[in-house]
Amino acid sequence: MIKSLLFNLAQSGIYTSPVMNWVVTAFSVLLCLFISPTRLPGMELLGVGPNWLLIWVVAWSIRRTVWQGAIAGLVLGLIQDGMTAPHPTHAISLAVVGMLTARIQKQRYIQEDFISVALIVFGMAVLAETITAVQFSLQGIGASAYAAHRALAEVWFYHQRIALSSAILSSLWAPVVYYPLNRWWQQTNAVEPSQT
């Protein structure tokens, strides 16, 4: 019933208009933004929640070009800067995640199912936290001894803890973002046809 309704809507062209497509995409980003500061029960591991923006960037870039991935990562990174603290920036790690996800030769190595998406998110979450940790370390080296900064040993100790828990949680929750978004983009043909 609903499926046929959706199909009719898709046929009538409301669905396929690019404006509608961008509205839905922006709305999904907004949802990810709103869910980031919440800690719903069952979503926490050692006080760390899933990295929703990272999941979104992976879901976006998985069937797009490197440039599209990079720009999406940049945009979401800047927004996350605004929501937490701008130094060090989140834009670098998310842009790298977007580029790498788009770059992976998925046709050859990985099939596009839930498990492989979860695996990509796992790897990318570890990578993103590592990039942030490197930025914190550089900041610490540049700062004077008594200015407010994080000690090198503390940064990397903390990195181990959050990289693992964030990667596990993000990869478990990845399908929640990936499945509906990918379904939508496939229906509207917004994603690039898979290249060989």
Partner 1 sequence: MYTLRRWWDRHGLRTGLVFLALGSAWVLRQTQGAAVFEVYQRVSRPFESMPTSAERIETAEMQELQQRLTELESQNQQLQEMLGYVQSRPTEGITAPIIGRSADHWWQQVTLGRGSRDGIQVGGIVAGPGGLVGRITHVTPSTSRVLLISDPTSQVGVTISRSRHMGYMRGQAANRAVMEFFDKVPDVQPGDVVSTSSFSQLFPPGFPIGRVESVNLSKSPAPEAVIELSAPINALEWVVVYPNSRTEVSNNP
Of positions 13, 41, 42, 47, contacts partner 1 by CB under 8 A: 47
Residue 184 in tokens: 């939508």
95, 117, 162, 181: which one binds partner 1 (CB under 8 A):
162
The secondary structure of residue 13, as a DSSP letter, is T
**Binding to partner 1 by residue 37, rule CB under 8 A?**
yes
- 136 in contact with partner 1 (CB under 8 A): yes
Count of beta carbons in the 10 Å neighbourhood of residue 1: 5
DSSP 132-192: HHHHHHHHHHHS-TTSS---HHHHHHHHHHHHHHHHHHHHHHHHHHHHHHHHHHHHTT-SP
Q: Is there binding between residue 74 and partner 1 (CB under 8 A)?
A: yes
Q: Which of residues 81-120 bind partner 1 (CB under 8 A)?
A: 81-86, 90
Contact set with partner 1 (CB under 8 A): 18, 22, 33-34, 36-39, 47-49, 51, 71, 74-86, 90, 129, 132, 136, 148-151, 154, 158, 162, 166
